[in-house]
Amino acid sequence: MCGRYTLAGTNPGLLRERFQLAPETVIEPHFNIAPGQDALVVRTDHDGQRTPDQLRWGLVPHWAKDPKIAYRMINARAETAAEKPAFREPLEHRRCLVIADGFYEWQVLGPRRKQPWWMTLPGHEPFAFAGLWATWRPPGRDDVEPLRTFTILTTHAPDDLRQIHDRMPVILPREAEATWLDPQAVSGEIHDLLVPRPGLERRAVGPAVGDANNDFPDLLLAVEPLTAAEPAQAPTLF
């Protein structure tokens, strides 16, 4: 899964250039983006032009009765998204780029013992997760401002990451981002993009990232990784 990510180290001007965003697009650094928070995504408008937006993380399908469903919809499994009612229509018509430069995973080492890792592309360059978005209003309330939300697609982890976690977010190749946003792209093209990304850099970080209220640069400081807990030794009588 993907439960936290970052957009921390990239110059805003370079980021706007990288994703073809308007000069007035406001981009702020974040070191611990969590579900339920607004985050930068890129969609296309009716004319096919790229449009930056701040959407809420946790998809709320248009047919949902309660927006609390979002907390079960922060990720969509790439293998089954086309079959799920919440994701089928967005996968076909409402794809977006979720802008990031790293993400966190927690390696389980034993009971109540986890090591968080920060994963990045080599050189910490920015990238885009494959995202889906949706618009929701309370039932029967077309007069209120819609809630726009997104989810991040995940796939199985490559061999070099599987010791940390068996899933990872889909990181789109740069040359595939236009296809992902293209409303005319056919399902086969889209499906072929939902693959693991090997060769990521990783860094063990401290437990403070586990608190979603923490959002500061020191979260990314490297630490000595924890090791698996040693089994308890039976007491000796002699």
96 a catalytic residue: no
105 a catalytic residue: yes
φ/ψ of 103, rounded to 5, equals -150, 160
193: left (phi over 0), alpha (psi -120 to 50) or beta: alpha
Q: Which of 216, 212, 219, 217 is nearest to 37 (CA)?
A: 212
Catalytic residue among 2, 28, 83, 224: 2
Catalytic residue among 105, 177, 189, 230: 105
Task: Confirm if 119 and 104 have CB atoms less than 8 A apart.
Answer: yes
> What DSSP line would sit under 69-118, residue for residue?
GGGG-SEEETTTGGGSHHHHHHHHH-EEEEEESEEEEEEEEETTEEEEEE
Detail the DSSP E strand segments found in the chain. Answer: 5-7, 30-33, 38-44, 50-57, 75-77, 95-100, 102-110, 113-120, 127-136, 147-156, 167-169, 171-172, 201-204
Q: Name the DSSP letter for residue 177.
A: H
Alpha-carbon dihedral sign for residues 183, 198, 209, 29: negative
The catalytic site residues sit at 2, 105
